[in-house]
Amino acid sequence: MQVRILFLLSDFGISDTYVAQMKAAVLGTVPAGTSIVDLTHDIEAGSVMEGAFHLYASLQAIPPGSVVVAVVDPGVGTERHGVVCEVDGIFFVGPDNGIFSLLPVNKAWKLPRLPADASATFHGRDLFAPAGARLLTDPGWVKSLGSIDPGTLVSSEIRPPEENEEGCHATVAHIDRFGNVVLWLSTSDADGFRPSEIRLPAGGIVPVTRAGTYGNRQGLLFLAGSQGCMELAFSGGKASSILGVSAGDRIFLKRSIR
């Protein structure tokens, strides 16, 4: 039996009732007992890049048949479109602003315009949540929508890693709550790569050691994280504090010559 779950991701936080209002819009139309799972609502306000990272990192854990409503939408109320994207049997619903740009989208559709009585500034509740609920109960609904070329979706602003003889330039994707620095450098691309030091944006240099886990070595560690990306961690502390970096920063990992 195919699992059908609705997942939510946003930058709304939980101090306001915005998330609850989206859930109410879903629960008013889906069968009783429908599961709603919160991926996160702690995305930095307006950070489409961070939202894209969390969708990318969560993809492997989301079962086919699910629907993901993702709302990080600093351009709400502008001419940007609402879209539905399909990735291996999972529907993603949200604004076309780059939040889906890291996903291997197979098909995409443009959502209808807002209802006349909808808010111009809360599309999460009035457009995306109802669309997600509709897809959960009636996946065939997408056939009535206008299909669009996935290649025309807004692309990511994230710079890919760049490798040369000396080492590799990589962008900081995310700082997790443990202070680990997640890099836009896949574990497969970094297979066998052993850096000796990190060169920071401000000019500092910090020695680093390749490790297998967080606790088997001391100091700054370079290791394969659980999200399919390489990470920088600090044994007994926070790598983000040691390095003084934030999401979007560019660092250089110098290749070890030993």
DSSP-derived secondary structure letter, 237: B
pTM of the predicted structure, to 2 decimals: 0.91
Burial (CB < 10 A; 0-12, 13-18, 19+), residue 149, is exposed
Checking if the pLDDT of 156 tops 90, the result is no
Task: Please return the burial class of 28, using the count of CB atoms within 10 Å of its CB with bins 0-12, 13-18 and 19+.
Answer: exposed
Q: What is d(CA 187, CA 192) in angstroms, rounded to the nearest whole number?
A: 10
Residue whose pair of structure tokens reads 């007994």 in the numeric block = 236
pLDDT at 91: 98
pLDDT score for 4: 83
Please write the tens of the pLDDT for every residue from 73-86.
999 988 899 999 99
Cβ proximity of 93 and 67 under 8 Å: yes
Q: Mean of the pLDDT values across residues 88-100?
A: 97
Question: How does pLDDT run across 168-193, given as a tens digit for each residue?
Answer: 999 999 999 999 999 999 999 999 99
pLDDT value at position 3?
A: 58
Q: Which domains does the chain have, with CATH numbers?
A: 6-152 (3.40.50.10790), 162-255 (2.40.30.90)
Round to whole Å and give the CA distance between 149 and 254.
39
pLDDT of residue 100: 97
For residues 10 and 124, the answer to whether their CB atoms sit within 8 Å is yes
Could you give the CA distance from residue 90 to residue 142 in angstroms, rounded to a whole number? 12
> Does residue 27 carry a pLDDT above 90?
yes
Q: How many CA atoms lie within 13 A of 126 on its CB side?
A: 13
**Mean predicted lDDT score pLDDT of the chain:** 94
- The strand pair at 67-71 and 6-10 is best described as parallel
Asked if the model's pLDDT at residue 1 lies above 60, the reply is: no
